[in-house]
């Protein structure tokens, strides 16, 4: 798949099957819009690293690099992270979880949440892929689900297209349909963030693309865990993000598509439930994840487990480390 420069797409630069495959060039950015709409320039040189297992990045433009954790979780490479009990939200461990960070296609969890909480939602509503999606994908070299302008798919099919292969084309299509209009949908995303109590969170793009800048869409590990908890309470979303592969047969309205889930955790960790990968040049490898052992469900997030676009398992390996530690320490009941 392509990530933020074929970017934000969630994620991990893994393989997307849609009739055709895609490549994954790295993302790029320089001058960006920071919170408050002030234009800032990302420092040319990173903040000096403190001793530790991972190379730190600034918490935000001009921010301070997070401290390195000592102890059993020191091997976690993510610079910003949190793990909590899904049922209560009780935090079990965190690292710089209140610092605002871009999160790439983890953003699509909010896009799905806004769509799925639409009053009188009809999952069978047929939506036409707009012509503008071509320019949108091309401008950001975005990862796609292989949708073509004029294809007609249902809301449910588009949710699979967005959440499994991290299709930015599907995110754009849903946003324009449910805004209505792009800007209307962005307003809904930010209103929903306030309603859910997501602090230090702001959205400017439904796919998590660097639109207009690498830091214009951001949140915190703490707020993303809260979003994940609310999102996974929606049965449709939980089903979608837990699906490994989804096939849409060809009809007169659209081509055949097969979308595979880019989340490595689903195949590498017993009890993994979802939910979304993410990557941009500024965000690094990210993963919002949930897993269940026995009767205990844990939810967590890692941000910037690796800055390498090809290091596709970095975030899921961090997630495994955190989950194993939490289940061992707090039990599975």
Answer whether 247's CB lies under 8 Å from 257's CB.
yes
Three-state DSSP class for 178? helix
Q: Tell me the CB-side half-sphere exposure of residue 88, using CA atoms within 13 A.
A: 5
Please report the domains of the chain, with CATH numbers, ordered by start residue: 72-330 (3.40.710.10)
pTM, to two decimals: 0.82
Residue pair 217/204 in contact by the 8 Å Cβ criterion: yes
**78 confidence band (pLDDT: 50, 70, 90):** very high
Contacts 24+ apart (CB under 8 A), 245-252: 245/164, 246/160, 246/164, 248/153, 248/157, 248/160
Instruction: Report, as residue numbers or ranges, the catalytic residues.
Output: 105, 108, 166
> Facing residues of 278 across strands?
286
Tell me the H-state helices in the chain: 108-116, 133-140, 155-163, 168-178, 182-195, 221-231, 235-241, 265-268, 314-330
Give pLDDT, residue 333: 76
First-to-final CA distance of the chain:
39
Read off the pLDDT of each residue in 38-51 and give the average, rounded to a whole number. Answer: 39
Residue range 299-324, pLDDT digits in tens: 999 999 999 988 989 999 999 999 99
- Quick check: 198 and 226 in contact, CB under 8 A? yes
């Amino acid at each position: 798949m392509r990530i933020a420069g074929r970017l934000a797409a969630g994620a991990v630069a893994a393989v997307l099957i849609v009739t055709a495959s895609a490549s994954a060039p790295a993302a790029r950015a320089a001058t960006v819009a920071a919170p408050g709409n002030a234009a800032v320039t990302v420092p040319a040189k990173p903040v000096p690293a403190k001793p530790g297992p991972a190379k730190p990045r600034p918490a935000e433009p001009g921010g301070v690099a997070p401290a390195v954790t000592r102890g059993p979780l020191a091997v976690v490479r993510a610079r910003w992270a949190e793990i909590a009990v899904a049922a209560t939200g009780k935090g079990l461990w965190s690292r710089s979880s209140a610092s605002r960070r871009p999160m790439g296609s983890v953003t699509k969890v909010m896009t799905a949440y806004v769509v799925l909480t639409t009053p009188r939602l009809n999952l069978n509503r047929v939506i036409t892929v707009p012509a503008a999606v071509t320019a949108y994908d091309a401008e950001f070299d975005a990862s796609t689900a292989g949708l073509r302008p004029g294809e007609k798919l249902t809301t449910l099919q588009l949710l699979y297209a967005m959440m499994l292969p991290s299709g930015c084309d599907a995110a754009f299509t849903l946003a324009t349909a449910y805004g209505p209009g792009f800007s209307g949908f962005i307003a809904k995303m930010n209103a929903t963030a306030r309603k859910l109590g997501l602090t230090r969170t702001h959205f400017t793009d439904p796919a998590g693309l660097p639109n207009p800048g690498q830091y214009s869409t951001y949140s915190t590990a703490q707020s993303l865990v809260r979003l994940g908890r609310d999102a996974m309470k929606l049965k449709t979303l939980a089903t979608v993000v837990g699906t490994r592969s989804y096939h849409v047969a060809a009809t007169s309205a659209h081509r055949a598509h097969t979308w595979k889930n880019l989340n490595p955790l689903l195949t590498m960790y017993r009890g993994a439930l979802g939910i979304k990968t993410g990557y941009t040049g500024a965000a690094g490898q990210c993963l919002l994840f949930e897993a269940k052992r026995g009767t205990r469900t844990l939810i967590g997030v890692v941000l910037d487990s690796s800055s390498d676009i090809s290091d596709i398992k970095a975030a899921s390996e961090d997630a495994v480390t955190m989950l194993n530690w939490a289940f061992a320490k707090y039990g599975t009941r």
